Structure 1
Amino acid sequence: MIFNTKNARPVALTAGLLAATALAGTASAQDYEVAYLSASSANTWLSRSLEEMEKVAAANGVAITEFDGQFDAAAQTAQLQDVIASGRYDGLIIAALNGPGAVPDIEMAIEEGIEVVVLNQVLGSDLTTSAPQVDGVAASVMVAPYHSGTRLGGITVSACEGIDPCEVVYLYGIKGTPLDTAIRNGFDEATADSPNITVVAEGEGKYLGPDGGIAATQDILQVNASFDVVVGPDQAIQGTEIVLEDEGMLGDVKLIGFGGSAPAFEGIRSGAWYGTVMGAPADEGRLAMEAMVDALKTGNDQGGIDPLAAMPDDGKVTADNVDQFSAQWDG
């Protein structure tokens, strides 16, 4: 997931905990109650997922109550424990802020007969798989961070074809986090058999808009006057594009993002960007609620679901296939 913090949904505080936001009118007949534990209601990616969840829920007699974690793992843990203790909910969908730490409470929820679907973030410690890591989880809908990295590396190999050496600038989102470490490991694995590719500089672009990419690219240009490719989160690459255009270098450097945002698609179509790894928050939300409905009504478990696996070219978007995709979020 690519984090952003625009368009905040107001959420009240009650007794020191973040209160749930009840979503009125989400079901014509409320046959089931589902708690949605969001990492952040202000996050534009997860907001897009919620829109699709609401549509599926409304068509299947499911009422949703959203709990806003506000990127606070401790608050989300308290919310999760409250949901279980309430005895109110038939199911819960969670975008976990602390994947390993949430496991004991999720195990408790399953013991209490609550159906559980994991959304977007790994619930557990293995960042290389979309498969559930807790017995009894009905479905886990996400792109494993490691495989985001292999896809990013695959586009880089294509961009570097015929360039030797191909000098690459790598922009982390937040360097040192398990998420970004797993993405980088996948990138390194995918590029390992391409000796022409060398990462000549690294930076940290964040996930909060172009400013991080602007600062990181400006710093890198102080040491590396030229390079062939820049890869990083879509938001950071937007900043890199601004800097390179100001420096008259935009046509000489291939830009590769991950996130599949509307600006990335615009950049690919205009020729300013080489490619991006598709992001599918709408598909994630739809698939998660469909899996929840299936679990509630039939008891079926769908296991791990990678929403990019069925897309053209494994979700790797370039000018050659961009017309086969549609952006699912604004970035």
Structure 2
Amino acid sequence: MKKSSISLILAAAMAAAVSAPAFAGDYLVGFANNSDTYDYCAKFRAYLKDATEAKGIDIMVTDAGGDTNVQNGQIDDFIVQDANVVSAISNDLDGSVPALKAAEDAGIPYISFLTSVKGGDDYPGYIYVGSQNVDAGKAQGEYLVDALPENAKILYFTGEPNDQQYIDRKQGLTDALKARDDIEILDEYNVKNSKDLGMSTAEDCIMSYDHFDAIVCQNDDSALGVVQALKTNDMLGDVLVLGIDGSDPALESIKNGEMAMTAFQDAKAQAEAGADIFAQLRDGTDPKDIEDVYIPFKIVTSDNVDDYLNGGSSTEAETETAQ
């Protein structure tokens, strides 16, 4: 169970010595984005701000630029400014623990979007909102099992190994690939989910390997970098490129016949679920009584990409809560 029966006492107002709140509203949320440079994170940030303000809740939004220490400092600042809730696309499974501890010490809820923080399940004020990342990796693997030729060889481009997303997405992929014993993962590269590193690493691999059939990426940004490298080397038609997130540029790439597939992560539905949780907390719900929320991934290929372009989705988002 993610929640214990320990009661959480929300903090009273901070001592008069701390700086005054930046907002005048009765309820204040802080959100520290992982990095605005990632298309998906920037889109999520915009959706969260709009959905939260639509409920009459003030929200402070910052950008950590991918730096865990910066993000932890931003969350400390939220607490000093009397935020009632802190939240983040937490940057690091271990590195974000100090931010979680700061929230716990202050007696306020910590909402982690899309990524997890170690020890979160031990704090009744911790709530996760996102998607089951193992399902995204599984979807990639199942696609490859159906699409790849006999004795296929693939390369795996990942984010940081000390990230629960990395762990879960890799597990889902490798589990699904067990359906075929002739598919070989030639190597794995940490490209930090970066478009630039995805492109440069793909260029190096083109020089290093005689042949590979697919490059599987743990997000869309790195996949788009791979597409650029393959285009430059006139290899795009020979290599399947897979991503995760369903960012707008990735959907366009699929539409244009470049990327083969992505696992669509519904940023709007995730953000709206987060805003709903903020409203529940504002209205007095004990955070230990609020379950984690999971928005299922959906598979996007050339067959259904038109359903997802321009911010659409083929069906209304389905929400799952932790059991």
| TM-score where L is the length of structure 2 | 0.76
CA contact (8 A) 1:117 1:292 kept: no
* Aligned-residue offset at 1:278: 1.3
Paired residue for 2:270? 284
Q: Secondary structure at the match of 1:194?
A: coil
Paired residue for 1:220? 205
C-alpha separation in 1, matches of 2:200 and 2:106: 49
Q: Structure 1 270/81 Cα, relative in aligned 2: closer, same or farther at 3 Å?
A: closer
* Aligned-residue offset at 1:190: 1.7
Q: Secondary structure at the match of 2:208?
A: coil
1:230 paired residue among 203, 215, 220: 215
CA contact (8 A) 1:21 1:68 kept: no
Asked if 1:124 corresponds to 2:109, the answer is no
Paired residue for 1:114? 108
1:54 paired residue among 44, 49, 53: 49
* Aligned-residue offset at 1:110: 4.8
C-alpha separation in 2, matches of 1:97 and 1:245: 32
Give the length in aligned residue pairs.
290
CA contact (8 A) 2:220 2:245 kept: yes
C-alpha separation in 2, matches of 1:256 and 1:21: 44
1:72 paired residue among 67, 75, 98: 67
Q: Structure 1 91/214 Cα, relative in aligned 2: closer, same or farther at 3 Å?
A: closer
Q: Structure 1 327/277 Cα, relative in aligned 2: closer, same or farther at 3 Å?
A: farther
C-alpha separation in 1, matches of 2:58 and 2:200: 44
- Unpaired runs of 5+ residues, structure 2, are 1-18, 313-323
Q: Structure 1 20/271 Cα, relative in aligned 2: closer, same or farther at 3 Å?
A: farther
CA contact (8 A) 2:38 2:221 kept: no
1:142 paired residue among 102, 110, 130: 130
Q: Secondary structure at the match of 1:199?
A: strand
* Aligned-residue offset at 1:108: 5.9
Q: Secondary structure at the match of 1:65?
A: strand
C-alpha separation in 1, matches of 2:185 and 2:198: 17
Asked if 1:99 corresponds to 2:90, the answer is no
Q: Secondary structure at the match of 1:151?
A: helix
Which stretch shows the higher mean deviation, 139-148 or 258-267?
Answer: 139-148
* Aligned-residue offset at 1:138: 6.0
Amino acid corresponding to residue 89 of structure 1 in structure 2? A
Q: Structure 1 215/99 Cα, relative in aligned 2: closer, same or farther at 3 Å?
A: closer
CA contact (8 A) 1:122 1:142 kept: no
Sequence identity percentage: 22
Q: Structure 1 305/230 Cα, relative in aligned 2: closer, same or farther at 3 Å?
A: same
CA contact (8 A) 2:29 2:84 kept: yes
* Aligned-residue offset at 1:35: 1.9
C-alpha separation in 1, matches of 2:169 and 2:300: 17
CA contact (8 A) 1:107 1:134 kept: no
Q: Secondary structure at the match of 1:222?
A: helix
C-alpha separation in 1, matches of 2:21 and 2:306: 37
Paired residue for 2:140? 152
1:169 paired residue among 155, 169, 176: 155
Alignment of structure 1 residues 224-263 onto 2, 5 Å: 224-232=209-217, 233-263=219-249
Paired residue for 1:7? none
Asked if 1:198 corresponds to 2:184, the answer is yes
Alignment of structure 1 residues 11-22 onto 2, 5 Å: none
| TM-score where L is the length of structure 1 | 0.74
